[in-house]
Amino acid sequence: MSMENNQSQRGSAIPRTQVRRLPHLAVQDREQMLAVLHAGKIAHVGIVDADEPRVLPMAYAPAGDSSLLLHGSTASQLSRRMATGASVCVTVTLLDGLVVSNSSFEASMNYRCVMVFGHGTEVPATDKLEALRTLSEHLFPHRWPEFIAPTDQQLKATCLIRIPLDEMSMKTRTGPALDSPEDHSVQRWSGVVPMQMTFGEPIADPHVQVPAPEYINRWLP
């Protein structure tokens, strides 16, 4: 998955984000890319460690429109490598539907996927609490004022990594399957089954006897 993009959204392509296959699925609008990053909750982060590829699911948050924050641990070797400039590839995918075709070859998925290339830097201790607030607001909107503040030891155990959004690409698929006329001659159901991530009814911790706050109820569909 790749496409052409730069911060001005015009000009020559950056080689590793230049489209190579199915260019009609590429999205060049930066605002659409940012919308996907703001809608997602989990990123998959690729890194090479000792000549071996690794992919980690990580909580993340957009920090404005210029960078991503990744939540890691100082006890993690991979987090420490990301925080000291290792090259990473970050993907965020929103799955919008299963494409049910007549032909097994044309079965597919509808999706929006953003890929970010970059080098991580560690958020300094002086900025760590504000970065955690940004993560909290992305993952748990309006909860931050009610969280118990992290201790100094907990802050030291947390590794926050900033990835610039300078090299970013997006691909998306919409619509039904691309069955051939011959495949359509077979009269069986085909189409798209929509999918979306939604929150369910809150389940209270057995240790608490208070109702869910209104802001959590607002997360529900």
In a domain, 183, yes or no: yes
Query: What pLDDT is recorded for position 111?
Result: 97
Do the beta carbons of residue 1 and residue 171 sit within 8 Å? yes
In a domain, 8, yes or no: no
Q: Count up the domains in the chain and report the number.
A: 1
In a domain, 109, yes or no: yes
Top-confidence residue, 8 or 160: 160
List, for residues 85-97, the tens digit of each pLDDT value. Answer: 999 999 999 999 9
Top-confidence residue, 86 or 3: 86
pLDDT above 50: residue 11 = no
Give the domain CATH number at 168: 2.30.110.10
In a domain, 10, yes or no: no
Name the residue among 53, 20, 58, 9 with its Cα closest to residue 171. Answer: 20
At 191, the pLDDT band (50, 70, 90 cuts) reads: very high
Domain extent, residue 130, equals: 15-217
The upper half-sphere exposure of residue 204, i.e. CA atoms within 13 Å in the direction of its Cβ, equals 8
In a domain, 9, yes or no: no
In a domain, 59, yes or no: yes
In a domain, 19, yes or no: yes
pLDDT above 50: residue 1 = no
> 132: which 2 tokens?
């955690």
In a domain, 198, yes or no: yes
